[in-house]
Amino acid sequence: MKVVFNEKNTDFKVCLIQNKDLSRFDDKEFFEINDYKGVGAICNLAKRTLYVGLNDELTYASFIASLGSAIKSIKNLNIKSISLEFINLGCEFYSAYAHIYAVISSLYEFNKYHKEPKNSKIELISLETQQNDDIQQGIELGKVLANACEDVKNIVNEIPSTYNQLSFEKDALKLAKEFDLECNVYSDDYLQKEGMNAFLAVNRASSYPAKLIHLAYKPQNAIKKIVYVGKGLVYDTGGLSLKPADYMLTMKADKSGAAAVLGILKAASMLKLPYEIHGIIGAAQNCISEKSYMPDDVLISREGVSIEVRNTDAEGRLVLADCLSFAQDLKPDLLIDLATLTGACVVGLSEYTSGIMGYNEDLQNEFYNNSKRSGEYTCVLHFNPHIKELIKSKIADVSNTGSSRYGGAISAGMFLGEFIRKEYKDKWLHLDIAGPAYVEKVWGENAYGASAAGVRMNIINLLRMARSAK
């Protein structure tokens, strides 16, 4: 996508309407005929103009959703260039990001399996504003994030018969080559030697080996070491505690956390962020064979904590337990895991919102505030000792499911917390992206399918951390 400023000759004009105020347009008759009052988007084809009514409560998230969803309505017209009005949402840098990300991301569609895939022809955005450094850098951020998120969406949307543990290895190696990252890939033998029995148990019925992938971006000017850990379940049938058919559908998206980790590393490399960033991916497939791990099993994890398996569908936390153990050996200043961990998080927070958990309230609040600039919705969920009681086991150190129907997102988070060593408790965040990772009912800028949840909030959290460190 090319971005220019104040270009007069574009194919289409995109007008942004605040406070339902239509008075500046000389299109009264069109508004009247269509009973348009500045709410939602409407397109006047004769005038080659798209009117975008913005939400009264204007936030980065609502802006990206309104603009993105409006652009979707014209993306398949024969348009090559658009001129786009510019609104300052509070900070020019993030505003420029929001404009560019909204447009580019809304053009995405996973259509490789269609006989005749249609792709948008829009290739130029002209921003109607005065150019400055902040806006220029915001445009760059928008392009980079849209690009990284597109890769993530392609991975998550890919079908389970095609995308397996080896595909993650291939994609990680490709990324490492392109951006000069360090990349080590470990398979079953190494995991066995390391005592990663929880991770291995989940993958035991798969015909592909489990893969622990370790990527590292190490710039010379690094001010901190950040480690991301991603749940990479290339498919989650539930295992022997089999999911009902309706709930199994979309479980190709159970690799969203791991895919987001790849996206974060790509974006961080492109933006040359001043952090040493590690990405750990736990790639496994939770399926059924005579080798399956079983409910009633007890697994000894890499941290030495024993786990009673009461449900083989609570597999993500088992993979993450061992990956978080590996991650702590890297001595991170900040440790963040991303996972489509629980259906309970979707029930509690909606399909639009990710859960932020951990032991450090300041860190959680900072992340929450920073994520607002990204346009992704998050919500802090607090741990408490009553919920910890729910994951007690009679025969092992911890149970992989909570004993109550309630509080499943937090009990899963507290399960992970059992594998975080004392010295890292305050440096760890758990992000449950189960809600927004996969879009079944289309909303905002998103197409049906993967949304690349977690990438933007983390990159913008890093940008804001770097700024406050100065």
Could you give the 3-state DSSP secondary structure of residue 347?
helix
Catalytic residue among 13, 224, 225, 243: 243
Q: How far is the CB of 153 from ligand BES (least distance, A)?
A: 16
- Residues in contact with ligand BES, counted by CB under 6 A, come to a total of 16
Exactly one of 285, 399, 401, 461 binds ligand BES (CB under 6 A); that residue is 401
Q: Is 454 left (phi over 0), alpha (psi -120 to 50) or beta?
A: left
Q: Is 296 left (phi over 0), alpha (psi -120 to 50) or beta?
A: left
Map residues 427-446 to x or -, x wherever contact with ligand BES holds by CB under 6 A. -------x------------
Segment interacting with ligand BES, rule: CB under 6 A, options 81-89, 105-113, 268-276, 308-316: 308-316
Catalytic residue among 153, 252, 255, 317: 317
Please choose which of ligand BES, Zn ion, none residue 344 contacts, taking the beta carbon within 5 to 8 angstroms, the exact cut-off set by kind: ligand BES
Q: How far is the CB of 82 from ligand BES (least distance, A)?
A: 35
Locate tokens 């009681």: which residue?
389
Locate tokens 């409560």: which residue?
57
Q: How far is the CB of 236 from ligand BES (least distance, A)?
A: 5
Please choose which of ligand BES, Zn ion, none residue 381 contacts, taking the beta carbon within 5 to 8 angstroms, the exact cut-off set by kind: none
DSSP H or E run through 212: strand 211-217
Exactly one of 152, 240, 344, 410 binds ligand BES (CB under 6 A); that residue is 344
Strand partners, 50: 14, 43
d(CA 143, CA 4): 13
Taking CB under 6 A as the rule, does residue 71 contact ligand BES? no
Q: Judged by CB, which is closer to ligand BES: 156, or 185?
A: 156
Find the helix packing angle between 316-328 and 408-417, rounded to 10°. 30
Q: Is 317 a catalytic residue?
A: yes
Q: Judged by CB, which is closer to ligand BES: 127, or 434?
A: 434
Q: Judged by CB, which is closer to ligand BES: 138, or 316?
A: 316
Could you give the 3-state DSSP secondary structure of residue 115?
coil
Could you give the 3-state DSSP secondary structure of residue 174?
helix
Taking CB under 6 A as the rule, does residue 311 contact ligand BES? yes
d(CA 451, CA 447): 8
Q: How far is the CB of 234 from ligand BES (least distance, A)?
A: 12
Taking CB under 6 A as the rule, does residue 76 contact ligand BES? no
Locate tokens 């909204």: which residue?
102
d(CA 422, CA 267): 31
Map residues 323-342 to x or -, x wherever contact with ligand BES holds by CB under 6 A. -----------------xxx
Among the listed residues 19, 122, 112, 142, the one whose alpha carbon sits nearest the alpha carbon of residue 72: 122
- Shortest Cβ contact with ligand BES: which residue? 343
CB 383 within 8 A of CB 359: yes
Q: Residues, the chain, total?
A: 470
Question: In the sheet that 124-128 helps form, which strands lie side by side, from edge to edge?
Answer: 2-5, 124-128, 81-85, 12-17, 49-53, 41-44
Exactly one of 158, 171, 236, 376 binds ligand BES (CB under 6 A); that residue is 236
d(CA 36, CA 63): 19
Q: Judged by CB, which is closer to ligand BES: 157, or 340?
A: 340
Taking CB under 6 A as the rule, does residue 254 contact ligand BES? yes
Applying CB under 5 A, the residues found at the interface with Zn ion are 233, 236, 254, 313, 315-316
Q: Is 48 a catalytic residue?
A: no
CB 178 within 8 A of CB 293: no
CB 360 within 8 A of CB 427: yes
Segment interacting with ligand BES, rule: CB under 6 A, options 51-59, 100-108, 143-151, 306-314: 306-314
Taking CB under 6 A as the rule, does residue 343 contact ligand BES? yes
Among the listed residues 414, 408, 338, the one whose alpha carbon sits nearest the alpha carbon of residue 376: 338
Map residues 185-204 to x or -, x wherever contact with ligand BES holds by CB under 6 A. --------------------
Please choose which of Zn ion, ligand BES, none residue 399 contacts, taking the beta carbon within 5 to 8 angstroms, the exact cut-off set by kind: none
CB 337 within 8 A of CB 230: yes
Q: Judged by CB, which is closer to ligand BES: 111, or 250?
A: 250
Among the listed residues 162, 25, 32, 141, the one whose alpha carbon sits nearest the alpha carbon of residue 85: 25
Q: How far is the CB of 467 from ligand BES (least distance, A)?
A: 33
Q: How many CA atoms lie within 13 A of 176 on its CB side?
A: 17
Segment interacting with ligand BES, rule: CB under 6 A, options 127-135, 193-201, 312-320, 367-375: 312-320
Q: Judged by CB, which is closer to ligand BES: 152, or 226?
A: 152
Question: What are the phi and psi torsion angles at 381 (to 5°)?
Answer: -110, 130
Taking CB under 6 A as the rule, does residue 314 contact ligand BES? yes
Catalytic sites, residue numbers: 243, 317
Q: Which residues bind ligand BES (CB under 6 A)?
A: 236, 254, 311, 313-316, 340-344, 346, 401, 408, 434
